[in-house]
């Protein structure tokens, strides 16, 4: 019953400082080519057994076929033999749209980009998990990916899903980027007798890995409808529960929207900090 209630809560809550050093340089930034593609294989860690182990759910998975899905991929036109990192993105809508200026920052940080189409808030949360996991695995099969730099990110409802994957699948994702939305695995007190409810139960071993080595960037805005949610989960959730690497960013004047590209650069700098050592 608890697992079923948790899924229902997910459906309801879709709305609800380090030094920065650029990974590359302006002169070394490569242009990214965009393509849509389909995959034929799922990830070995996206099946019902693994979803249940990582999230603590016992509900059956919805009908799903990877061959019916499509994904947007952004890669350098002439990718070198050097392994690039990967940013897996989850949007709140069914389009994978991100600002065009992001390509420069992705290339500067040597990050491939992948996002599933039809993975918006109207899609079942378990499908959104599987789409992100299958995208991750298939890009790693297709390209030489630096496994130290596999990040999950999203905006609004997509950020909520990303925050859950970043903790529950800390054995896959080394960093998590949440713009204007975040969930947590424990109830977090809000004002009065209210609270932000837990939405999953992570595997203890994977949770410990996330606490020790995962990197989490939680970004909100002064006028963001999810500002209180994001701040409280950053402080009374992640930091109180002993996560070592949590970067909370509040942008003055920002509403519920994707922040400026300069914020993306700062966030990616933080996520890649450990991999430079």
Q: What is the CATH number of the domain that holds 38?
A: 3.40.50.1820
Record the pTM: 0.91
Mean pLDDT, rounded, for 211-223: 98
Mean pLDDT, rounded, for 238-245: 98
**pLDDT given at position 7:** 43
Average pLDDT, the chain: 90
CA–CA dist 179, 162 (Å, integer): 10
Instruction: Please tell me the total count of domains within the chain.
Output: 1
pLDDT for 112 beyond 90: yes
161 CB burial (10 A radius; 0-12, 13-18, 19+): buried
Residue 164 DSSP code: H
Q: Read off the pLDDT of residues 2-44 as tens digits, 9 standing for 90 and up.
A: 444 344 444 444 444 333 333 444 435 668 999 999 999 999 9
For 48, the domain range is 2-276
Q: Read off the pLDDT of residues 59-94 as tens digits, 9 standing for 90 and up.
A: 889 999 999 999 999 999 887 768 899 999 999 999
């Amino acid at each position: 019953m608890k697992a079923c209630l948790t899924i229902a809560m997910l459906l309801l809550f879709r709305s609800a400082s380090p030094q920065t050093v650029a990974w590359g340089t302006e002169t070394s930034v490569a242009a990214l080519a965009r393509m849509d593609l389909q995959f034929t294989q799922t990830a070995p860690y996206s099946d019902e057994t693994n979803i249940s182990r990582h999230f603590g759910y016992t509900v059956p998975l919805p009908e799903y076929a990877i061959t019916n899905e499509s994904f947007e991929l952004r890669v350098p036109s002439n990718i070198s033999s050097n392994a690039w990192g990967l940013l897996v993105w989850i949007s709140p809508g069914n389009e994978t749209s991100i600002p065009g200026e992001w390509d420069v920052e992705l290339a500067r940080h040597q990050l491939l980009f992948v996002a599933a189409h039809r993975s918006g808030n109207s899609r079942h949360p378990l499908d959104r998990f599987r789409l992100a996991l299958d995208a991750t695995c298939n890009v790693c099969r297709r390209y030489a990916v630096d496994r130290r730099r596999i990040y999950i990110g999203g905006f609004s409802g997509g950020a909520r899903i990303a925050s859950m994957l970043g903790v529950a699948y800390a054995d896959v994702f080394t960093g998590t980027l949440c713009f204007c939305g975040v969930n947590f695995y424990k109830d977090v007190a809000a004002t009065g007798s209210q609270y932000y409810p837990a939405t999953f139960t992570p595997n203890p071993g994977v949770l410990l890995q996330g606490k020790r080595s995962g990197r989490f960037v939680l970004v909100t805005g002064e006028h963001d409808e999810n500002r209180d949610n994001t701040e409280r989960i950053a402080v009374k959730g992640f930091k109180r529960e002993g996560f070592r690497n949590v970067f909370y960013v509040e942008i003055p004047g920002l509403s519920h929207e994707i922040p400026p590209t300069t914020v993306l650069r700062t966030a990616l700098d933080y996520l890649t900090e450990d991999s430079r050592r």
